Amino acid sequence: MGRTIPLEEEEKEEVEGTAAAADADRDELTMMMRDFLAATGGCAVVDGGLATELEAHGADLNDPLWSAKCLLTSPHLIRQVHLDYLHSGANIILTASYQATIQGFLSKGFSPHESENLLRKSVLIALEARDLFHQKHHPHHHPVFVAASIGSYGAYLADGSEYSGDYGQSVTLDTLKDFHRRRVQVLAQAGPDILAFETTPNKLEAQAYAEILEEGDVKIPAWFSFNSKDGVNVVSGDSLLDCAAIADACSKVVAVGINCTPPRFIHGLILSLKKVTKKPILIYPNSGERYDPDKKEWVASTGVTDDDFVSYVTVWRQAGAALIGGCCRTTPNTIRAITRSLNKQSFVLICREYHQLSSENK
């Protein structure tokens, strides 16, 4: 006669089984990022600004959809910019979905089905660019991740609030979860390697992202990156440490970092992040130029040159950054210079290790 297991014991075993499965999923996602970074030599290069390059190729982005407008009008330009960055040394290309939302497409007259297909299209274009690149460059020698870009609620509003994090009293945690949930599901299922939650301006939205990932059936890893305008807090004034702690606690998040922030703040922000997370740190600053949300344009002559930008790379790498790239107003030239700088650092380290081993063997 079989043993009857008390209900409490059954529930305990179920909880323990669920926890064990969650731990296994977390370990698998962590290992995926670890293996990728090892394949890139220890530091992966993230691509640069998308909109800047699309405009350089002739695209008109004067639209609330911003770079996502090209999903409708000129997908071939998006593919070309992805390829430009890959040929400049990027290991990670971000999809043209930062400002692509189901709600935004619906406001343009598209159906829900058409809106979701446009999100999928952003991933497919990046996957096609990677396939084209790998026809001439073996994946073993130049590994590439496709990151599905997810911009903030403020990016959808297109009112500059992505640079302030001020959504007003009416926007709650549930508001943000309802806004992002289906978009995250669609992008995750379209085939990217990782989800990139970018330019996160406040703690509330970070919490919304974390809960969507933990509650949903998301099978791929994610990164959270925040933006800062004072080098201490995120742009809303919320503590960067509090925001990063949310990312660190989320089992699906495999990297935490900073983007769309002036280069001069990055070193201090890396040191701050290291206080609350052991996960890989990613940084992809903007050019240092200031964005005017009222005029919806970047203020000229407020940034740094590519040479000045790249002069920071050694410091960022030594401080602990494991993924380095550029954001708004950076170009393939910026990414090419970052790649060269990182390759030079790797060569110097190899030489040092060789000389050290030689000395020990004498």
Closest Cα partner for 350 from 141, 42, 137, 92? 42
Q: How many residues does the chain have?
A: 362
pLDDT at 353: 45
CA angle, 283 then 269 then 322, to 5°? 35
- Give backbone dihedrals phi and psi of 285, rounded to 5 degrees, phi first: -70, 165
Q: What does the block give as tokens for 157?
A: 């509003």
Please identify which residue in the block is written with the tokens 């950076």. 330
Local structure of 139: helix, strand or coil? coil
For the chain, helix (H) and strand (E) counts, in that order, are 14, 10
Q: Which pair of tokens denotes residue 341? A: 């700088």
Q: Is 243 annotated as a binding residue?
A: no
Is 108 within 8 Å of 58 (Cβ atoms)?
Answer: no
Q: What is the pLDDT of residue 251?
A: 96
List the structure tokens of 102.
Answer: 């189901």
Query: Which of 127, 70, 68 is closest to 93 using CA atoms?
Result: 127
Whether 351 has a binding-site annotation, put simply, is no
Q: Which segments of the chain have a pLDDT < 70?
A: 1-22, 289-305, 346-362
pLDDT of residue 350: 42
Cα three-residue angle 347-351-354, rounded to 5 degrees:
140
328 annotated as a binding-site residue: yes
Find all residues with CB under 8 Å of 128, minimum gap 6, and list them. Answer: 79
**179 contacts 112 by C-beta, under 8 angstroms:** no
Q: What is the DSSP string of 144-205?
A: -EEEEEE--HHHHHTSSGGGT----TT--HHHHHHHHHHHHHHHHHT--SEEEEEEE-SHHH
The type of residue at 114 is: E
Q: How far apart are CA 95 and CA 79, in angstroms?
A: 10
Beta bridge partners, 196, equal 149, 223
3-state secondary structure 275-330: CCCCCCEEEECCCCCEEECCCCEEECCCCCCHHHHHHCHHHHHHHCEEEECCCCCC
Q: What are phi and psi of 355, to 5 degrees?
A: -65, -35
Cα–Cα distance measured from residue 107 to residue 99, given in angstroms and rounded to the nearest whole number: 13
At 319, list the tokens. 């401080």
Distant-in-sequence, close-in-space partners of 222: CB < 8 Å, separation ≥ 6: 194, 195, 196, 197, 209, 213, 250, 252, 253, 254
Cα→Cα distances 15→6, 159, 190, 215, 245, Å:
14, 44, 31, 15, 25
Domains (range + CATH), the chain:
25-361 (3.20.20.330)
pLDDT on residue 164: 94
Q: Tens digits of per-residue pLDDT, 148-195? A: 999 999 999 988 899 899 999 999 999 999 999 999 999 999 999 999
List all residues 6 or more positions away from 300 whose beta carbon is below 8 Å from its beta carbon.
289
